[in-house]
């Protein structure tokens, strides 16, 4: 049943649809939709919103993600004398500050008025730009570590903040596709940065700087331009969006609120604490870590055994395919109203890719395995983020829970920074084995969450029927499995 209907989707009377789960902290929603649009009008409305939000958000994230893999290939290791574990430390300090500051950044977002939300994202992006451009001028290992730490602080508020921002615009079964469009910028960054770094390599010694320095400087300059464009075109929340009519604003608010209640009881401290105590946050956090640790691991160590220019170019089709896979999976997940099957399949695909890496196969076969690893990992990330976003209700709880989940996921970057040791080159058996273990952990967590949600739905629907509750009323309490 389309979302513009004046009734929420009603579950089948026989059995429990695997597209629905329950959330025990959500009261029944009885709001009737007063504004209705026909399917074509609704399609045009969501397309209008997409065009106003997604391109600029994706561009901002693309350039915030571009510097995370290629500098190593362009001379950073040699010029800064990153011997022993120095490169691993430089990688990990970013994820330490990133993970620690995601939670306070999303809390702060709750105290920023909707009319100032875009300015908040501009402020974050300019901090990112400042730190990234500073990296282009570092001359020593201590300077690199310090700037990497500050870059993590700057970037901490961006990903969970934008993911939460999208939950304030889109209903639950349109959300994951948009998260994938936004997250897909990371895959596009992997593809584009390979070409970009290949070209920038020819700027060695320009201005007495090596090519890796120019990677950071030019990316920073482009990000500044994008940030100021974002202030002009990015809307705040639906209620203040000037590009929407009054009726369109009301329709968006109604559709987003179907089955979701953002009014929370208790103090802010109690609302924040409820996120810390919710099992969903920690279990999906483990799932996100099971994707992020292998994703960063394969990104940090992608030379394939070829020369630097060839390695840069070989990364391009891998990340193009990963981006296509990510967006396609999200589209079908929203259409089918399912999350867990896509997560489980992504874990299996990534695991096969890493198993190929750990073998003594030829370089060509391992290159094929890299496709599987990257596709699996990148496809799984928006699925997990969207799953938790669908199941956490209450504005503060959702903001805090998504930040905690993202923080856990990015601690996977710390792990990936240390398990791929220089002494293990070129096969990295220890690193690949541990990454396979992470994916096994994520697989178990996904199956466990699916079972718990399914049992919760069985209990909720039995109780609702026993109490004679209208199907429309109890259907609003059921969410995605």
Mean pLDDT by 10 residues, the chain (481 residues): 36 36 37 71 92 86 64 60 76 84 80 64 74 75 86 82 86 89 76 66 66 72 78 77 88 73 68 90 95 84 62 79 92 91 96 91 87 93 91 84 89 84 80 93 95 88 77 64 87
pLDDT at position 415 is 87
The per-residue pLDDT for range 120-168, each reduced to its tens digit, is 777 777 777 777 777 777 778 888 888 888 888 888 888 888 888 888 8
Q: What are the DSSP E strand ranges found in 318-383?
A: none
Please write the tens of the pLDDT for every residue from 221-247.
Answer: 877 787 778 777 777 778 878 888 888
| Separation between Cα atoms, residue 354 and residue 341, nearest integer Å | 20
Q: Where is 293: in which H helix or E strand?
A: helix 279-300
- If we measure between CA atoms, which residue out of 193, 176, 168, 169 comes closest to residue 63? 193
Look at residues 427, 412, 411, 324 and name the one whose alpha carbon lies nearest to residue 375.
324
Long-range contacts (CB closer than 8 Å, 24 or more residues apart) made by 138-147 = 138/80, 139/80, 140/80, 141/80, 141/81, 141/82, 141/86, 141/90, 144/80, 144/90, 145/89, 145/90, 145/93
* Cβ neighbours, 10 Å, residue 427: 13
- The answer to whether the beta carbons of residues 173 and 3 sit under 8 Å apart is yes
Gap between the Cα atoms of 347 and 372, Å rounded:
10
Beta partners for residue 209, in sequence order:
206
Distance of alpha carbon 97 from alpha carbon 157, whole angstroms: 11
DSSP 222-261: HHHHHHHHHHHH----GGG-TTS-HHHHHHHHHHHHTT--
Q: What is the pLDDT of residue 376?
A: 95
**Burial class (CB within 10 angstroms; exposed 0-12, middle 13-18, buried 19+) of 35:** middle
Query: Bridge partners of 22?
Result: 478
Residue 98 pLDDT:
84
Beta bridge partners of 478: 22
**Cα–Cα distance between 158 and 356 in angstroms, integer?**
34
pLDDT score for 8: 36
Q: Which stretches within 392-426 are classed as H helix? A: 395-419
Rounded to 10 deg, the angle between the 117-135 and 211-233 helix axes is 170
Rounded Cα distance, 282 and 409, in Å:
10
Angle of CA points 169, 450, 179, to nearest 5°? 25
Q: How many CB atoms lie within 10 A of CB 267?
A: 10
For residue 390, which of 233, 173, 87 has the smallest C-alpha distance?
A: 173
Whether the model pTM is above 0.75: yes
pLDDT of residue 395: 80
Omega cis (within 30) before 426: yes
């Amino acid at each position: 049943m389309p979302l513009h209907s004046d009734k929420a989707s009603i579950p089948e009377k026989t059995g429990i649809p695997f597209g629905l789960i329950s959330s025990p902290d959500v009261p029944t929603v009885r709001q009737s939709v007063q504004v209705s649009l026909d399917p074509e009008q609704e399609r045009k409305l969501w397309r209008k919103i997409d065009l106003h939000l997604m391109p600029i958000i994706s561009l901002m994230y693309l350039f915030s993600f571009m510097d995370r893999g290629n500098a190593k290939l362009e001379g950073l290791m040699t010029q800064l004398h990153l011997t022993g574990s120095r490169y691993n430390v430089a990688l990990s300090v970013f994820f330490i500050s990133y993970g620690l500051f995601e939670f306070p950044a999303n809390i702060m977002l709750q105290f920023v008025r909707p009319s100032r939300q875009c300015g908040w994202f501009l402020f974050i992006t300019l901090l990112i730009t400042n730190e990234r451009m500073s990296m282009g001028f570092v001359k020593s290992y201590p300077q690199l570590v310090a700037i990497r730490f500050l870059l993590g602080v700057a970037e901490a508020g961006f990903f969970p903040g934008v993911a939460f921002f999208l939950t304030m615009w889109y209903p639950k079964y349109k959300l994951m596709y948009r998260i994938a469009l936004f997250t897909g910028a990371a895959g596009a960054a992997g593809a584009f940065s390979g070409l970009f770094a290949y070209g920038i390599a020819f700027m060695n010694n320009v201005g007495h700087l090596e090519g890796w320095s120019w990677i950071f400087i030019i990316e920073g300059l482009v990000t500044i331009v994008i940030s100021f464009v974002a202030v002009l075109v990015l809307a705040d929340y639906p209620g203040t969006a000037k590009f929407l009519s009054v009726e369109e604003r009301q329709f968006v608010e109604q559709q987003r609120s179907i089955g979701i209640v953002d009014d929370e009881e208790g103090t802010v401290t109690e609302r924040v604490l409820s996120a810390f105590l919710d099992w969903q946050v920690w279990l999906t956090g483990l799932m996100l870590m099971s994707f992020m640790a292998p994703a960063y691991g394969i990104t940090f160590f992608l030379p394939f055994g070829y020369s630097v220019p060839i390695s840069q170019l070989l990364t391009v089709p891998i990340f193009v395919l990963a981006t296509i896979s990510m967006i396609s999976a999200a589209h079908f997940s929203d259409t089918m109203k399912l999350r867990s099957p896509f997560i489980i399949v992504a874990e299996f695909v990534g695991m096969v890719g890493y198993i190929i890496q750990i073998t003594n196969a030829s370089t060509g076969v391992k290159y094929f395995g890299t496709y599987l690893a990257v596709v699996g990992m990148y496809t799984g990330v928006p699925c997990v983020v969207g799953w938790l976003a669908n199941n956490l209700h209450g504005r503060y709880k959702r903001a805090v829970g998504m930040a905690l989940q993202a923080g856990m996921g990015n601690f996977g970057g710390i792990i990936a920074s240390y398990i791929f040791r220089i002494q293990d080159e070129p096969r990295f058996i220890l690193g690949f084995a541990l990454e396979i273990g992470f994916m096994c952990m994520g697989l178990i967590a996904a199956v466990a969450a699916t079972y718990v949600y399914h049992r919760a739905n069985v209990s909720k629907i039995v109780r609702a029927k026993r109490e004679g509750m209208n199907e429309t009323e109890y259907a609003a309490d059921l969410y995605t499995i």
